[in-house]
Structures are given as structure tokens and as C-alpha cells.
Amino acid sequence: MLKQYSRYLRVIIPLTLLFYFVPVVALIFVVCGVVDISRHRVVSAGLMQKYFIGNGLVTWLLSPVNVFFDLISERNKYIYTLDDFPPGHRSEIENVLKVFDADKDEIIADIREKMGDKKRGMLFYKWYDKSTNQSVPAFNEDMTYIKTIGVSVFNQKESTSLHFGPLRLTLRVLYNLTPLKSDNVFIEVDGQKHYWHDDPLFIFDDTLLHRSINEEDSERYCVFVDVLRPSAFTGLQNIFMKAIQVIFKNFSGIFYSRWTFLR
């Protein structure tokens, strides 16, 4: 109970001070936060609690930035297919996925060796437009739209809790390399489940509340790619991406605190 009260206070006290000294700034954060959560199909007390005082707090702090990204991007569909992307975006996505298809066995073997008995593993080939792993040369090429390339691994019966991604500058492309014919392995976004055996490809706005579930006695290997949202301001998006790369390069642990980074 004390921990719960402390969570409320760490939001209420700064927000009260903001309203007292800079009310316009405080109002912007409140309005942008409300805009953020109103995008969900059902806005519940649990959703608001998780967003404003739980693991969505960083997403709330970034909500004015995310609303700006909404303004310079095409209308957000929340859930996407490849057909929703312009030719340039789609070509880069398809090329990356083709590399994973061609080298899947070698990539999985390399990751499995690094993974060991860890619960969750994360291997980045590209992180916010910066190459971080040289083992797959195709991923080190300059790309206009794709900014992050990696693989996440769940060990047996390992899942995430409900959480929010931080930024809407990009969309998250997921591609399951080991789709099982099981309803116990899926991703849930805004209350809707996507089963990997139906389609190994799933693209969505990851600032929506979501979780990934693996309740099987086998590992789950899933490609994740962050691609710029379709926009008439791609140059401006890439300027922001350079700034984000500088800011976030040392803070990946904030967003992946329960993951082991595989080198």
C-alpha cells in the first residue's frame, strides 16, 4: 500500500508544482496524456493507472513529442499490413525480412548459443539507426526508413506484462521466426490477440498497451524492426531520429530492464 501511495505522490507533487509555476506546460502534459490513452478501444481505471503512475509514465512524459509526431505523419492506423506502407518503406521491410528468412537457421543458432538459460534475450543489429552488430552485413547498410533491427527471444513459458512503448516516431514490425500452431503463443495489443500461427508478421503502434505471451515449452524467436511512420516529412523524421539516437544510446536499459542484451 505504501508503495502504491508513493507512486501517486511521484506524479501528483511534480504536476502540482508545474500547475503552480508553469500551468501551460502542465496543461499540455495532461491534455497530451488524455489524447494518448483515448486512442485505446476501452479506457478503464486500470489503463489510466498503468499509464499515469505505472510503466506508462515514460510514455506520458514523451506524449507531447508523440502528439507532434502524429501531426507530421499520416493518420495512425494502429494495426498495419505491408500494403499500408509506401513503396520505399515496404521495400526496406521486405528486404530485411528476406535476409532473416534466408539466414534464419544460422541466426537462431547464434542467438541460442548466446542465450543459454536466460529468461529473455535481446540482440540488436541496429539501434536507433546505429549499427551495433556486424554479423549480418546486410543490416549494416544505410536505410532511409528502418531504424532498429533486432531479435527478441523468450525462453520456455516466458512472457511480458502489459506495457507501453515510448515513441510514435516509428512503428513496430514483428516477424515470428518460429511460429507454433498454438493459441498459447501470441501478442495482445489494446485487448486484441494476434496468434502467430495465423500470420508470423504483425505491425503495430507499440505505444498502445500490449504484451507478448509464450506459454509453451519451447523458445520463441521474434524479429523486431522499427520503421519510420509514413509521412511527407521523412527528412524531419530522420533529424529527430539522430537526436533520439544521441539521447537514448545510453538508456536502453530503461525500456528493456528485464531483458538480457546478447552481444
Residue 19: pLDDT band with limits 50, 70, 90: confident
In whole angstroms, how large is the CA radius of gyration of the chain?
19
Q: What is the pTM (predicted TM-score) of this model? A: 0.94
Domains of the chain: 2-72 (no CATH), 79-261 (2.60.120.330)
> Which tens digits make up the pLDDT trace of 78-131?
999 999 999 999 999 999 999 999 999 999 999 999 998 899 999 999 988 889
66-102 b/e with 16+ CB inside 10 Å = b?
Answer: bbebbeebeebebbbeeeebeeebbebbeebbebbee
pLDDT class for 253, splitting at 50, 70, 90?
low
Residues 10 and 204: their CA atoms lie apart, in Å, by 31
pLDDT of 10: 82
Asked whether 223 and 174 are in contact (CB, 8 A), the reply is yes
What's the number of CA atoms in the CB half-sphere (13 Å) around residue 189? 18
How does DSSP assign the chain, residue by residue? -HHHHHHHHHHHHHHHHHHHH-HHHHHHHHHHHHHHHHTSSS--HHHHHHHHHSTTHHHHHTHHHHHHHHHHSPPP-SEE-GGGS-HHHHHHHHHHHHHHHHTHHHHHHHHHHHHTT-SEEEEEEEETTEE---SSGGGGS--SSEEEEEEEEE-TT--PPSB--S-SSEEEEEEESS--S-TTEEEEETTEEEETTT-SEEEE-TTS-EEEEE-SSS-EEEEEEEEEPP-S-HHHHHHHHHHHHHHHTT-HHHH-TTSEEP-
pLDDT in tens, 146-192: 999 999 999 999 999 999 999 999 999 999 999 999 999 999 999 99
What confidence tens digit (pLDDT) does each residue in 42-82 have? 999 999 999 999 999 999 999 999 999 999 999 999 999 99
